Amino acid sequence: MWREISRAFGEVARDYEAWYQGNPLFASELRALLALGPIPSPSLEIGVGTGVFAKALGFTHGLDPSLDMLLLARQKGLLCVCGVGERLPFKDEIFEACGMFFTLCFLSRPEEALEECYRVLKPEGKLFLGFVPRESPWGQYYEEKKRAGHKLYRFARFREGQEVLNLLKEKGFRLVKGSSTLFQPPGLKRPLREGPREGFFAEAGFWALVAIKD
């Protein structure tokens, strides 16, 4: 499955990258992630894509199955590795932080990816997550795109916010802080740049969190 998904992302790599340029939605998501505190090094983003979040947040390493996406991430100075989140090609306990932004929903086996994060993180290492909760208006918007056969979203499986929080706990992570943004409805002609709100809200289209390896 990951081959098909990474091929689909690879085909749109340049457009994907272009979407971020000067986009107030990206700026809002970034602010929600920055509100969680600094990313300690060394750090790995799984599903790094073209590296836009990794670069802006100061991640050192990026992993992705798509070489086309990684090529753009490498140009940003990130140390890039081709691979999948369910089987990380790294030794145990070497990273201070792991991150996954908009990637959890594209993993065939997210439980395994979280187990792998736990394995490669040092004791008390931090896991940063950013995702679209299914119950939010944005989650419903993307669900609709998925139903219509969108070339990327057709592969996504969006999860309810609480489902993700439960999964983290099950895999040995302790939630430290949450931050939400995208209270504006999806599809605005002129999207707004928003400040984050601490905590989780069902109406927010982006949940960001940091959890610690317990």
Ligand X SMILES: C[S@@+](CC[C@H](N)C(=O)[O-])C[C@H]1O[C@@H](n2cnc3c(N)ncnc32)[C@H](O)[C@@H]1O
Which residues sit at the interface with ligand X, rule CB under 6 A? 2, 5-6, 9, 46-49, 52-53, 64-66, 69, 84-86, 101-103, 106-107
Give the nearer residue to ligand X in terms of CB position, either 145 or 214: 145
Give the nearer residue to ligand X in terms of CB position, either 103 or 181: 103
End-to-end CA distance of the chain: 31
Smallest separation (angstroms) from ligand X to the CB of 119:
15
C-alpha–C-alpha distance, residues 189 and 135, integer Å: 23
Smallest separation (angstroms) from ligand X to the CB of 102:
4
Smallest separation (angstroms) from ligand X to the CB of 17:
9
Give the nearer residue to ligand X in terms of CB position, either 3 or 174: 3
Angle between helices 13-20 and 2-11 (to 10 degrees): 70
The helix (H) or strand (E) run that includes residue 111 is helix 110-120
Q: E-strand spans in 137-214?
A: 173-181, 197-198, 206-213
- Name the residue among 82, 81, 94, 33 with its Cα closest to residue 58: 33
Smallest separation (angstroms) from ligand X to the CB of 36:
15
Residue whose Cβ sits closest to ligand X: 49
Give the nearer residue to ligand X in terms of CB position, either 47 or 133: 47
Tokens of residue 85, six digits: 């989140």
